[in-house]
A and B are shown apart, each in its own frame.
Chain A
Amino acid sequence: MQELVKRASELLADGSVARVLGWKAGDLPYNPEPAYFENEEQLRSFVYNGFCGANLSKYMIEASKLEGKTLVFLKPCDTYSFNQLMKEYRVDREKAWIIGVGCRGKLDIEAVKRSGIKGIESISEEDGELKIKTLYGDHSISYAEAMLERCHSCKGKEHRVYDELIGESEETNDSERFAGVTEIEAMSPEEKFAYFQKELSKCIRCNACRNVCPACSCRKCVFDSNKFDSAQKANTDSFEEKMFHIIRAFHVAGRCTDCGECSRVCPEGIPLHLFNRKFMKDIDELYGEFRAGEDAETKGPLTDFTFEDAEPGVVAERG
């Protein structure tokens, strides 16, 4: 972390960048938040730790409109989002100085809480273990156990776009990305319906999943229209809820980089990646493997076609 702060102050001091986009300490030990830093003084609250899961690419949309360059710290997975935003002409590469930061997996406070740890006062890390001081005594939990779902199926630790790299990464991938999707696909229609009814009825339509998503950056969003009911929380057993989720995922299909932010921020713990990954899996199977954000040039699968594409009836045929 000290290395990041040092480099940031250097670049600020010599005028190469006008501001720094990073993470600053929050009010709790586990909630650092995205922030701008404009001088050495402000950089004192800069942090980079296991809880810095927040993907800063989306903030570069606004930063691209500001005077001067912005130094932005991106984790390997965040660089996919940046590439995708470049492809969509939403961010300006010239306005960004990208420092790729190393990543050893990011933590999920919900995973810690699920293991029964409450009243957290401080969290520190020692050889792959999290030491947690709480109001009720000391606890420890393994780093891997407390990791975000997305880090267990990490895309890899290679930064796809950067100006310089700082820090080491470690392999965290230990599960198959589409395992959850395959599991649901094997269910009967009744089971599938019941499963999604159970998950989606928890949704409070806070829109956090949309707001955090780099792909969901349209200036005008269909869900903000007051002309239809999706603007509010719907009855839990009506279709409105599912409609929101299908359309949200559909609008990012072929553009979603699987950055995992939506699932991370959902206050209800809804596994939103199961929707995104269903589209990814179908796209891979039907139109050839594709990974959004791998580069900033390749055409997306939904803005492209071939004459031989499968007919929609294929859904019924493959059962």
Chain B
Amino acid sequence: MSITAKTEFKPKIVAFCCNWCSYAGADLAGSSRLSYPADVKIIRVPCSCRVNPMFVLRAFEKGADGVILCGCHPGDCHYSTGNYYTRRRMTLLFSMLDYIGVEQGRTRVEWVSAAEGVKFSTTMNEFVEKIHSLGENVRLGDLRCRN
């Protein structure tokens, strides 16, 4: 067996998108033929506030290099107030990650409406770019998931 040459870093990105706005926004981006990197894996959730902090940590642990949450704009939540809770929770979670020494920028929250296909695609492009510059996630991964 030989040591394999270092291959190009392809970031794995997990995007949690709410069913009502952001997932539809992603759909619109697709049907308008706007491109966003194939490294972004979308997980559809009923509301951004369905995202338990554990989902975010678990995604990192299982090998994600970046995690982004997209939901309806504040005030437009399908369930009226879900995303306001998301906002507080994620702020605290991101701050805690920063506190234990995880690089800033690996996590992000963005509000994307069903009409914002363009915003969806630019956000994803930007985020992938950012993760590219941060490189592989070594601090949050589980050893057992590494190969």
Contacts and interface: CB of A to CB of B under 8 A. Distances in A.
Contact of A305 (B87, B92, B96): B87
A228 B142 CA distance: 13
Query: Does more than half of chain B's interface fall in helix, strand or loop, or is it mixed?
Result: helix
Interface string A306-319: 01011111111000
B36 interface: no
Contacts of A192: 99-101
**Secondary structure dominating the interface of A:** helix
Interface of B: 53-54, 57-58, 60-61, 74-75, 81, 84-85, 87-105, 107-109, 139-144
Contacts of B102: 189, 193
A312 B91 contact: yes
Contact of A250 (B93, B108, B140, B143): B93
B139 A239 contact: yes
A4 interface: no
Contact of B100 (A193, A235, A240, A313): A193
A283 interface: yes
Given A193-B100, A243-B57, A316-B104, A305 B109 contact: no
Contacts of A286: 91
A247 B139 contact: no
Contacts of B84: 305, 307, 309
Given A238-B142, A310-B91, A314-B91, A302 B85 contact: yes
A179 to B, nearest CB: 15
A239 B109 contact: no
A189 B101 contact: yes
